[in-house]
């Protein structure tokens, strides 16, 4: 039987890649996202990195939620980053989501973007790229994958966000907004 939730559209932001041969700027999305969301019974809708689409575009998609996926450094953390258009789009999505009560889940870069949007800061972090490590959610320990070169130390978490998970060194591994339906994690569930 088809799950009722399958008809729920979930928007997914995409990383930006530059084709060295043609110079084309391309949007891309790990194929595991569609497998993961279909398994959960949702209909994934990739969102192009085109700020011109704007708020009307999101309304027409009838999104029940948005996932700010991983990939690309924020321009604020890396001046050589090619993600300026993506940063602008994800800022627009957060603003749209707040005004339309649309839930947002940030994955890795997505949590960084949520934190940055609300004035939080990030720092360069070592030993978090292509490894597994323990995080703490209350009294529970969870071993997760890690692929990020920038982290959010608890002192850098925006005031409107609260810690849901952290590592042994005081870096935020999960956070949620105190008022809005915005939350994020630093690991990648689609890769499990």
Residues 6+ apart with CB under 8 A from 114: 68, 94, 104, 106, 158, 161, 175, 177, 182, 183, 184
Catalytic residue among 116, 173, 190, 192: 190
Catalytic residue among 90, 173, 188, 192: 188
177 is catalytic: no
SS (H, E, C) 35-48: HHHHHHCCEEEEEC
Catalytic residue among 4, 24, 108, 155: 108
If one counts every other C-beta atom within 10 angstroms of the C-beta of residue 34, the result is 16
190 is catalytic: yes
Is 172 in contact with 129 (CB distance < 8 Å)?
no
108 is catalytic: yes
Catalytic annotation, residues: 108, 188, 190
């Amino acid at each position: 039987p088809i799950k009722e939730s399958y008809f729920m559209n979930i928007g997914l932001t995409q990383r930006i890649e530059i084709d060295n041969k043609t110079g084309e700027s391309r949007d891309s999305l790990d194929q595991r996202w569609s497998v993961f969301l279909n398994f959960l019974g949702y209909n994934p809708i990739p969102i192009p990195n085109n700020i011109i689409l704007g708020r009307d575009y999101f309304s027409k998609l009838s999104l029940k939620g948005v996932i700010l996926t991983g990939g690309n450094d924020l321009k604020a953390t890396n001046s050589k980053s090619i993600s300026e258009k993506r940063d602008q789009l994800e800022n627009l999505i957060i603003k749209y989501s707040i005004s339309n009560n649309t839930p947002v889940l940030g994955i890795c870069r997505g949590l960084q973007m949520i934190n940055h949007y609300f004035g939080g800061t990030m720092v360069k972090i070592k030993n978090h790229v292509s490894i597994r490590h323990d995080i703490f959610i209350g009294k529970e320990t969870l071993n997760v994958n890690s692929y990020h070169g920038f982290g959010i130390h608890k002192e850098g978490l925006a005031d409107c966000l609260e810690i849901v998970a952290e590592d042994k060194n005081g870096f935020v591994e999960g956070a949620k907004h105190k008022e809005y339906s915005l939350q994020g994690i630093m690991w990648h569930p689609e890769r499990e």
